[in-house]
Structure 1
Amino acid sequence: MTTYRSAASTGLLPWQVRGRRFRRVWPGRRGLAPDEVYAFLDRVAGDLAAVQQALAESRRETARIKAALRDWQSAQARARGYDR
């Protein structure tokens, strides 16, 4: 069985997923080697989870920055007397 994930592993790139080929099972049987397929799917799932987490963090940071900007703009408007 091939291990795909390591601490130094970088995320999968689209061309790696599209181009991945699996060995066939032994002669007389149809299909692909299940251990290779499941190991690869586990790596893809892990990379997708990491992307989803990074996206969620990015959205939280965007919301935090937008709120800070709105607060700063409101404070500037009050300081200049525009809120009257």
Structure 2
Amino acid sequence: MAHLPLCAGRVRDHRFPLVRRGLDPGEVTAFLHRVADDLATLHAELDRIRHENTRIKQHLRDWQSRFAPRVHR
């Protein structure tokens, strides 16, 4: 079964069924919020890195079009 990619909101909003001798719901919720915060930070950093990568590639293409030797066939 395919799972949707995790995002901070999905982690924060996930609920587990209550069982008689289960885990402390407060601790589970606190942990999920911590994981969601870390996930949100990682997604933001990934977006920043992707943007930077695109910018660097464009600058490289610009530089190559101005200074790289032309190959004639």
TM-score range, shorter chain: 0.5 to 0.7
Larger RCO (alpha carbons 8 Å, 6+ apart): 2
Gaps of 5+ in 2: 1-19
TM-score with structure 1 setting the length: 0.57
Larger proportion of helix: 2
Q: Which has the larger radius of gyration?
A: 1
TM-score with structure 2 setting the length: 0.65
Query: Per-residue deviation at 1:76?
Result: 1.2
Distance in 1 (alpha carbons) for counterparts of 2:24 and 2:71: 69
Query: Per-residue deviation at 1:75?
Result: 1.0
Which AA in structure 2 matches 1:41? L
Number of residue pairs matched by the alignment: 53
Gaps of 5+ in 1: 1-28
State the 4+ residue runs in structure 1 displaced beyond 3 angstroms: none
| Residue of structure 1 in register with 2:22 after alignment | 31
Percent identity for Structure 1 against Structure 2: 55
